[in-house]
Structure 1
Amino acid sequence: MTDEQTETDGKQAQTDGGGTGIVPPDDETPTWSERKQRTEGLSRLTYEYFERARREDQDLRQESSYVERDVLAFPVWPHEMIRNLSLTSFFVGMIIFLSATLPPHLGAPADPNSTPAVILPDWYLYWSFGLLKLGPLNPELAILGGEKLMSDRAYGVVANIVVVGIVAIVPFLNKGSARRPVEQPFWAAVGMMGFAFAWTISIYSAKNLAPIAPHLLFDLTFLVPPIVGTITYAVLKAMREGYMFDLNRRYYRLRPPK
Structure 2
Amino acid sequence: MTDDTPNRETDAEKARADGSGIVAPDDETPTWRERKTRTQGLSQLTYEYFERARREDQDLRQESDYVERDVLAFPTWPHEVIRNLAVASFFVGMLIFLSATLPPHIGDPANPSSTPAIILPDWYLYWSFGLLKLGPLNPELSILGGQKLMADRTYGVLANLVVVGFVAIVPFLNKGSARRPVEQPFWAAVGVGGVLFAFTISVYSAKNLIPMNLHLLFDLTFLVPIVGGFVTWAVLKTMREGYMYDLNRRYYRLRPPK
Residue aligning to 2:199: 199
Is 1:52 equivalent to 2:44 in the alignment? no
SS in 2 for 1:120: coil
Bigger mean CA offset, 126-135 vs 236-245: 236-245
Q: Quote the residue 1:124 is aligned against.
A: 124
In the aligned structure 1, how far is the partner of 2:148 from the partner of 2:255? 53
Pick closer, same or farther for the CA change 1:130–1:37 going to 2, 3 Å.
closer
Tell me whether 1:95 sits opposite 2:81 in the alignment. no
Comparing 103-112 and 44-53, the one that deviates more: 44-53
CA deviation digits over 1:153-204, x for unaligned, max 9? 3433343333234334434433334455443221121122112211211121
Secondary structure in 2 aligned to 1:118? Answer: coil
Tell me, yes or no, if the aligned pair for 2:132 and 2:156 is still in contact at 8 Å. Answer: yes
CA deviation digits over 1:119-139, x for unaligned, max 9?
A: 122333321210121233344
Q: Which residue of 2 aligns with 1:153?
A: 153
What does residue range 1-258 of structure 1 map to in structure 2 within 5 Å? 2-4=3-5, 7=8, 10-14=10-14, 23=22, 26=25, 42=44, 44-55=47-58, 58=61, 62=64, 73-140=73-140, 148-237=148-237, 238=239, 241-242=242-243, 246-253=247-254
Taking only the aligned residue pairs, the percentage that are identical comes to: 57
Stretches of structure 1 that go unaligned for 5 or more consecutive residues are none
Deviation larger for 73-82 or 22-31: 22-31
Measure, in 2, the Cα distance between the counterparts of 1:166 and 1:65: 41
The structural deviation recorded for 1:88 is: 1.0
The answer on whether the counterparts of 2:66 and 2:255 sit within 8 Å (CA) in structure 1 is no
- Relative distance call for 1:182 and 1:205 in structure 2 (3 A) is same
CA contact (8 A) 1:131 1:156 kept: yes
Distance apart, 1:59 and its partner CA = 5.6
Q: 2:252 is aligned with what amino acid?
A: Y
**Residues 245-254 or 190-199, more deviating:** 245-254
Q: CA offsets, 1:24-65, max 9 Å, x none?
A: 77499876879x699xx53643531342343356468x3579
Q: Is the 8 A contact 2:192 2:229 kept in 1?
A: yes
Question: What letter matches 2:93 in structure 1?
Answer: G
| AA partner of residue 184 (structure 2) | Q
- Normalised by the length of structure 2, the TM-score is 0.70
Figure out how many residues of one structure are paired with residues of the other and give that number: 246
Decide which moves more: 241-250 or 224-233: 241-250
The alpha carbon displacement at 1:23 in A equals 4.3
Q: Distance in 2 between matches of 1:175 and 1:64?
A: 27
Between 1:224-233 and 1:124-133, the stretch displaced more is 224-233
* Displacement after TM superposition at 1:244 (Å): 8.2
Distance across 1 between alignment mates of 2:232 and 2:246: 15
Please tell me the root mean square deviation across aligned C-alpha atoms, in Å. Answer: 4.4
Contact 1:182 1:245 in 2 (8 A): no
- In the alignment, residue 251 of structure 1 is paired with which amino acid? Y
